Every structure is written in C-alpha cells, then in structure tokens.
C-alpha cells in the first residue's frame, strides 16, 4: 500500500480529477505528491482494511456457516439464505422497516426542507442553528426513554394532557397501530434539525444574485423556492436523502429501548431482528446472512436513488 | 456508494468484530500460588450477601480471592456468551434454568459430579428437586444456590376500601370459565374514575382508575409471572417430560382456555389492555396505586415491604384452579466454566456457595430463599423477625411445577411471547394461534 520509490514522470494524475472535481484540468505539478498522499492515506486505509474490509469478509463467511459463538463455525453452504426465504419474521422485519423508512424520510425531509428554507430566507442566527441541533445531540437511547415515559399510557405526561382536555388516552408505543408511527415521529424529532442544517448549508451555496434578480422580476417566495432553491439544491438533497435513507434503515436504539412493551413484534425492525438472532438466540451465522442481504439491498437502493437524482452533477457549474 | 459500503462495513463490523474485541477482557490470573477467581451474578440486591460469602471464603482460603462482577439481567447473558466465545469467561457464574441448557450442550460447563462424589456433598440438604435440575445425561452442571416461588401481591388498603377482607384472599379459587372467587375479587378491586367498582352495573370500563389485576405479557416461553401459573392450575403442562423434553404442548386447549380468560378480564376492563399497557413494570404500577393485585415472585419481597412504600401490601397464596394450587419453582445454581484454569479452586468456591456456611449468611439478609432447607428456614425466620409475612411463598413451595428446561430455550421464549401477545391483542384466535405456535416450536427440535 506504499507508493513505489521510483519517481513518476510528470503527467496529469487521474486522481486529481477525482479529488478536485470541476477544477481546471492539468495544472503541471512541481513534484510528485503521491508518495506523501499514500502516507497520509495509510492510517485510513489500514483502519478501513482492519475495521471494514476484514469484518465484511468475515461476515460474508459467517453467513455461510452455522456459527453460534460457542462452537467453531461449520460451513453449511446457502442454508442460512434458504432459511431466510422461508422466515416470516425476516420478511415482516423488512416490511416493518420499510414502513418506518417511508414515514421517517418523508416527514423528516419535508420538515427539514421547510426549516432550512425559513432559516435561509429569514435568519442567519447562529443561535437558531445551534438550537436546531440540540435534539440531535441527545443520545438515541435517552431520546427513546424520554419519549417512552412522556408517552406512557398510564403515567405519561402526553396522555395526562390528552385526558385533561377530554380526549381519550392512547398507548402510543404499546398499540400495534401507533407504535411505528410514534417511533418514526420520535426520530423525526431527533433528526430534523440536523438534516435541516445540511440542507441549509447546501442553500448557502446558491448564489444570492439569483434571488435578487428573481425578486426584481416579481417572483414570490414560493416561486423562488420551487424554481431556484429546490432545483439547485438537488445534489445536496440527493446526498442528504441517501444518507438519511441508509440511516433510517439502521433504526435500532429507539426500537431497542421501547420494544419490550410493544406487543407482537410490530416494531421488530431488521436491525433489531439481526441483533436478536445474534445476541439472544446466538445464531451468528444466520444473523450474518440477514446482514449481508440488508447490505446488498441498501447498496441497490442507493444506486437507484443516485441515478434517479443525478446526484453527481450540479446545475450550478 | 462510498457511504453504502461504509455502512455495510460498519454493519458487519458490529457483528463480526464483537468476537475479537471481546477478547480484550481480563481473566483470572495466578501469581505465586495465589489465585483470583472471577465470579458473576446479576442481582444487585444479592451482591452484598455474596460479597460477605466471598470474604469469609477468602479468610478460610487466603490463597484464593474471589472477584465478584455484577451485571444487570438484560446484559448478563450477552456478556457471558461473548466472554465464553472469546475464551475469557468467568470461572464461576450464577446460572439459570432457561439459559443453562445451551451452555451445557456446547460443552461450556464443567461436570461437577466427580467432585460431588469425591467430597461427598449432601444433595439431600437442598430443597427437594432443586439439585436434579442441573443434571443432564448423568453430568452435573452446578450446585443449587436458591429457589423462588410465586404468590399474589395485593394492595390491602385498596381492597379494604372496596370491602374485601384480606382474610378472604387466603383461599381463592379460579377456573377458566367464570374465573371463580379470584375474578370476583379482581372485579371488586377495579375502580373507575367515578369510584364505581367492576361489579357495579354502571362501571365505566373505558375510564379505569385502578385495575383489579395487572397481568404480565413479556413473559417468555413459560409465563412464570402470569399465564403459566393459571395454565398449570388448569392442568396444563409444558412438555412431554421436564427437564429435557423435546415435545412442547402449547397447543393444549387448557392453555388456550387460560389465555382466553385473561383476554376476557381485559375486555371487561379489569386489567389494562395490552395495547395501552404502561411502559413501567407492574411492580411500579402497584406501588403507584394503579393496580390492586398481581402475581409476584419471592425475589421481589423487599420491593413491596420497603419502608418507603406508601401503600400497604400483603402476599397471598395463589388461587387454586381445577387442578389445584400450583406455583412454578425456579432455582439458580453456581456453575463452573469448562475452560477455567483453576477448576479445583473454582469447585472449592462453588462448594462453599452451596454450603450452609454461605447460605446461612445469605439467609440472614432475607433477600432470597437459599437452596439448603435449613438455611431457607432461617431466611423465613429473618423475614418474620422484620415483620414480613412471606408464608405465601414458603407455602407455595409445597406444590410446585418446574419451568421448562430444554434446548432452544431463548429462541422459543421470543416465539411464544409473540404468539401469546397476538392472541391477547385479538390478532389471532387462542386455539389456532397456539396450535400454529406449537408446530413452529416443535420444529426447532427436529
């Protein structure tokens, strides 16, 4: 992984295009920086190999075995994958996760977009930006517990208020109907501020003069939003969507702290199911198989999403 | 794409790296003839008692030090399994009957039978039936340390207000058809927001202030804290044989009848609906005066008799069903890791834990009932001395049934719990749902 010792002739380095997309091409170099570059990259590469690549390979290997933690793994071929196809709980977990992702992504993106636009057009206040981040700074487990207490059907604050104003109580996290929307809502609460900030940063890159000339032409805020902000925000929005989609699929903590009281596994999302198989049932091989399938699925989703949103091209350049 | 790969990597990392990372744990070491034994338990209330035992043991065996680690129940088994996988498990740990079969099958536990024979340990000193639980195929995987039974816990003040004399509760009956006198008492104990109880024709089941009964639905494959008790009183037994049966009987109509009765109780408003139940434990709801009666285990005695508790509670015998009055009995043991570097010292410690010397000390603190009958009597006396009436638990020990001890315990815990919750929610019919469950459970053993 270390660059060769022989000096490389001066020519345009292909990597430069990758690193500095959109920059003017082929600026001649004084000396070859690649050796140093590799040196700087080395820690990351080693970390990547050790903590990402190796475990990934190991995980794929385990998915082909009957590994149960306590005994050495035996190869069983595609058995885990065959079991997976016939496992109602796996399919249910996928369905439940999908439901969550839709609820969470839609509510979170719409809210964040609205917040970011308001911030962009109205205030540049650092204090407001900082405040938006506060829910995101609270650890997920704390968020889960906090909302669990507040939403409790018997002793929770929210139900207390509902009862006081004459509405009936709801077991937000304990009713099969409401448990998933509630969890999606909790996570939307926790992540909207962060997402809004990312989108806001994207909006700052849109040249001001576009807005100025638009307002001179008599365009209103809504028109400016749909005709300027939204189209020019597309690459950032795509990135934010991809990242939050993947993050959304990885929902775990909020479910883990509340699932004990949610009957019948209606919030048993895919990550929780993997965890249950691995660390409650000690079926590490099977859990790895689910993880592999999930990784493939997420990869596919990302490719589709990037294609659809033409994420690597900007309309600003 | 990069981030996908990263995420995928991170995902696999979390799975795959747990094993090598867990290897960084510490192990017992011996230097200059001195040995340190690692000992694990989960109950923080019992920690002081066992620390006292460890100190006494060290005084008698100055070359052996016992280092106790306490981890909460929820993390205990995961931690233990990862430690076992990485070869760094504690020398001795507290074992439980649902969890131990998988360790026994995977050769993680030391067979102590040869030690028991050699040192002539008197197994008859233990509460009857307790020591056999830890035997599989002639191998013995631990010595009993304590036992627990179930009883009713009732808020006597709340019941008194509804005109129920606590003495009436000593002899309750139950059947799945009309619920017997047990259901009558529960109905009386249920109070709506207008102060009407469950027997009042104007009772408003949608605005209940105090529930007569608080059932437990996160109760694994055995229903130790709820349905299992009444199902047994109705003549249900879990298995073809226990321990080590291979055919479960969750399709027994007697179980379906029992669950259906619970569901009726909920429909009448005498117990909280599962989809509106509280996130806090039943014991907390009882303490908060939100419920009047529940089942509880002998390990919770101090929870309800604590001086800080505002309500007045009493422990009463379980209701007698068509097949009599039956309590689950569950015992814990101390087991030695097969990979321990100090089996002889570990055995010495286990033998001490299982001796009346240690168990009498535990008894004095009146936290649990020790496995040795004489120590158990001392614990009972210690409770009495502090003014706690725990006869409901000691009495229950006379007619008990064993919780199922089989392979696949943890896996079927989840399956059974899900299926029973679906029935209680009304998503599945009791008969159909449990038959389906039973097929799935028994398929695990094929």
Which residues 6+ apart lie within 8 Å of A164 measured at CB? none
* Domains by residue range for chain B, with CATH: 33-148+330-392 (3.40.190.10), 150-329+404-443 (3.40.190.10)
- pLDDT tens for each residue of B30-42: 445 789 999 999 9
**What is the CA angle B46-B297-B179, rounded to 5?**
175
* Model confidence at B241: pLDDT above 60: yes
CA B271 to chain centroid, in Å, comes to 22
State whether A157 and A262 are in the same domain: yes
- What are the b/e assignments for B62-71, b being 16+ CB within 10 Å? eebbbebebe
The CA distance from A268 to the nearest CA of chain B, in Å, is: 11
Query: How many residues in chain B?
Result: 446
Closest to B218 (Cβ–Cβ): which among A169, A260, A274? A260
Mean pLDDT of B350-376: 93
Residues 4-43 of A with CB under 8 A from B: none
A219 belongs to a structural domain = yes
User: How far, CA to CA in Å, does B204 sit from each of B200, B201, B290, B394?
Assistant: 9, 9, 16, 38
pLDDT band at A25 (very low <50, low <70, confident <90, very high): low
Domain with A196, as residue range(s), is 82-309
Give B75's contacts in chain A (Cβ within 8 Å).
Answer: none
Q: Which candidate in A263, A273, A294, A311 is best for mutational testing of the B interface (most B CBs within 10 A)?
A: A263
Considering the domain architecture, whether residues A198 and A159 belong to the same structural domain is answered as: yes
Question: Which residue, among B150, B262, B165, B147, has the nearest Cα to B211 in the 3D structure?
Answer: B262
A27 and A101 share one domain: no
The C-alpha of B73 sits at a distance from chain A's nearest C-alpha, in angstroms, of 13
Q: Which two tokens stand for residue B104?
A: 């026994």
Closest CB from A71, A265, A299 relative to B4:
A299
User: Across the interface, do B8 and A295 touch by the CB < 8 Å criterion?
Assistant: yes
Same domain? For A286 and A220 the reply is yes
- A217 and A113 within one domain: yes
Q: Using a CB–CB cutoff of 8 Å, tell me whether A171 touches chain B.
A: yes
The continuous run of DSSP H or E covering B365 comes out as: none
- Comparing CA positions, the residue from B318, B313, B271 lying closest to residue B288 is B313
**Per-residue pLDDT reduced to its tens digit, A123-135:** 778 888 888 888 8
Whether B345 has a pLDDT exceeding 90, the answer reads yes
Q: Are B277 and A299 an interchain contact pair (Cβ–Cβ within 8 Å)?
A: no
Residues A142 and A273 in one domain: yes
For chain A, the residue count is 317
Does residue A316 fall inside a structural domain?
no
The answer to whether the Cβ–Cβ distance between A175 and B9 falls below 8 Å is no
Q: Domain count of chain A?
A: 2
In a domain, A74, yes or no: no
Q: Give the pLDDT confidence score for residue A12 in this predicted structure.
A: 43
Q: Does A1 have pLDDT greater than 70?
A: no
pLDDT bin (cut points 50, 70, 90) of residue A44 is very high
Q: Are strands B400-402 and B327-336 parallel, antiparallel or unpaired?
A: parallel
Q: Select the highest-mean-pLDDT range: A219-228, B8-17, B293-302.
A: B293-302
Tell me the average pLDDT across B116-138: 92
Same domain, A147 and A40: no
Same-domain pairing of A216 and A149: yes
Residue pair A113/A198 in contact (Cβ under 8 Å)? The answer is: no
* pLDDT tens for each residue of B364-402: 988 889 999 999 999 999 999 998 999 999 998 889 999
Q: Would you say residue A65 lies in a domain?
A: no
The 3-state DSSP class for residue B46 equals: coil
Q: Chain-wide mean pLDDT for chain A?
A: 84
* Partners of residue B411 in chain A, C-beta under 8 Å: 280-281, 283
Touching check for A235 and chain B: CB below 8 Å? no
Q: Which CATH number is A203's domain given?
A: 1.10.3720.10
Whether residue A254 is found in the same domain as residue A178:
yes
The reply to whether A218 and A142 lie within a common domain is yes
Evaluate if residue B143 carries a pLDDT over 90: yes
Residue A45 has pLDDT above 50, yes or no: yes
| Structure-token match 């700087």, residue found | A40
DSSP classification of residue B277: -
User: With an 8 Å Cβ cutoff, are A153 and B3 in contact?
Assistant: no
Residue A24 has pLDDT above 90, yes or no: no
Q: Give the three-state DSSP class for A108.
A: helix
Separation CA A306–CA B227 (nearest Å): 52
The region of weakest confidence among B15-29, B56-70, B82-96, B410-424 is: B15-29
Distance CA A206, CA A316 (A): 8
């Amino acid at each position: 992984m270390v660059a060769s010792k022989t000096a490389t002739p001066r020519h345009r380095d292909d990597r430069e295009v990758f690193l500095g997309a959109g920059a003017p091409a082929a600026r001649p170099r004084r000396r070859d920086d690649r050796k140093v570059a590799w040196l700087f990259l080395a820690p990351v590469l080693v970390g990547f190999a050790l903590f990402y690549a190796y475990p990934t390979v190991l995980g794929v290997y385990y998915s082909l075995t009957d590994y149960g933690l306590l005994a050495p793994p035996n190869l069983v071929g595609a058995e885990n994958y065959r079991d997976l196809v016939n496992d109602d709980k796996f399919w249910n977990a996928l369905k439940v996760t999908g439901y969550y992702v839709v609820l969470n992504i839609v509510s979170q993106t719409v809210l964040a977009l609205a917040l970011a636009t308001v911030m962009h057009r109205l205030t540049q206040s650092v204090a407001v930006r900082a405040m938006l981040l506060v829910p995101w700074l609270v650890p997920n487990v704390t968020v889960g517990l906090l909302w669990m207490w507040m939403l409790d059907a018997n002793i929770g604050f929210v139900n207390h208020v509902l009862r006081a104003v004459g509405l009936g109580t709801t077991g937000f996290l304990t009713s099969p109907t409401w448990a998933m929307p509630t969890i999606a809502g909790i996570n939307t609460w926790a992540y909207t501020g962060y997402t809004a900030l990312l989108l806001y940063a994207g909006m700052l890159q849109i040249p001001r003069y576009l807005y100025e000339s638009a307002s001179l032409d008599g365009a209103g805020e809504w028109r400016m939003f749909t005709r300027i902000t939204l189209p020019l925000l597309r690459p950032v929005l795509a990135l934010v969507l991809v990242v939050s989609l993947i993050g959304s699929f990885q929902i775990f903590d909020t479910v883990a702290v509340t699932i004990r009281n949610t009957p019948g596994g209606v919030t048993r999302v895919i990550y929780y199911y993997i965890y249950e198989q691995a660390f409650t049932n000690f079926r590490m091989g099977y859990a790895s198989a689910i993880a592999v399938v999930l990784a493939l699925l997420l990869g596919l989703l990302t490719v589709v999403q990037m294609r659809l949103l033409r994420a690597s091209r900007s309309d600003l350049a | 794409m990069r981030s996908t790969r990263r995420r995928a990597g991170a995902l696999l990392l979390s799975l795959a790296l747990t094993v090598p990372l867990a290897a960084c744990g510490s192990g017992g070491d011996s230097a200059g003839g001195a040995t340190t034994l690692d000992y694990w338990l989960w109950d923080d209330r019992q920690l002081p008692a066992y620390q006292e035992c460890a100190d006494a043991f060290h005084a008698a065996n100055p070359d052996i030090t016992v280092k106790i680690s306490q981890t909460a129940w929820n993390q205990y088994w995961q931690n233990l399994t990862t430690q076992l996988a990485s070869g760094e498990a504690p020398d001795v740990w507290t074992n439980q009957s649902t969890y131990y079969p998988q360790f026994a099958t995977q050769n993680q536990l030391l067979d102590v039978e040869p030690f028991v024979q050699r040192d002539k340990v008197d197994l008859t000193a233990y509460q009857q039936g307790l020591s056999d639980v830890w035997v599989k195929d002639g191998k013995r995987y631990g010595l009993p340390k304590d036992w627990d039974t179930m009883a009713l816990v009732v808020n006597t003040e709340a019941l008194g207000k509804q005109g129920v004399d606590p003495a009436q509760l000593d002899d309750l009956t139950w059947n799945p058809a009309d619920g017997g006198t047990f259901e009558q008492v529960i109905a009386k104990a249920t109070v709506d927001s207008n102060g009407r109880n469950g027997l009042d024709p104007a009772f408003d089941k949608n605005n209940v202030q105090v529930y007569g009964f608080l059932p437990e639905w996160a109760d694994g494959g055995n229903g130790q804290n709820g349905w299992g008790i009444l199902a047994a009183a109705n003549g249900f037994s879990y298995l073809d044989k226990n321990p080590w049966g291979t055919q479960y009987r969750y399709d027994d109509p007697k179980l379906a009848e029992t669950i259906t009765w619970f569901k009726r109780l909920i429909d009448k408003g005498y117990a909280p609906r599962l989809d509106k139940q509280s996130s806090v434990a039943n014991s907390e709801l009882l303490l908060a005066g939100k419920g009047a009666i529940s089942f509880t285990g002998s390990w919770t005695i101090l929870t309800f008799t604590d001086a800080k508790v505002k309500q007045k509670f009493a422990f009463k015998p379980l209701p007698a069903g068509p097949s009599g009055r039956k309590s689950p009995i569950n015992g814990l043991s101390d087991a030695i890791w097969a990979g321990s570097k100090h089996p002889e010292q570990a055995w010495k410690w286990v033998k001490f834990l299982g001796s009346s010397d240690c168990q009498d000390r535990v008894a004095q603190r009146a936290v649990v009932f020790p496995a040795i009958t004489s120590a158990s009597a001392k614990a009972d006396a210690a409770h009495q001395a502090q003014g706690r009436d725990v006869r409901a638990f000691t009495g229950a020990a006379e007619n008990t049934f064993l919780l199922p001890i089989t392979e696949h315990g943890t896996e079927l815990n989840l399956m059974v719990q899900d299926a029973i919750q679906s029935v209680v929610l009304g998503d599945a019919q009791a008969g159909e749902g449990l038959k389906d469950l039973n097929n799935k459970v028994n398929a695990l053993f094929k």
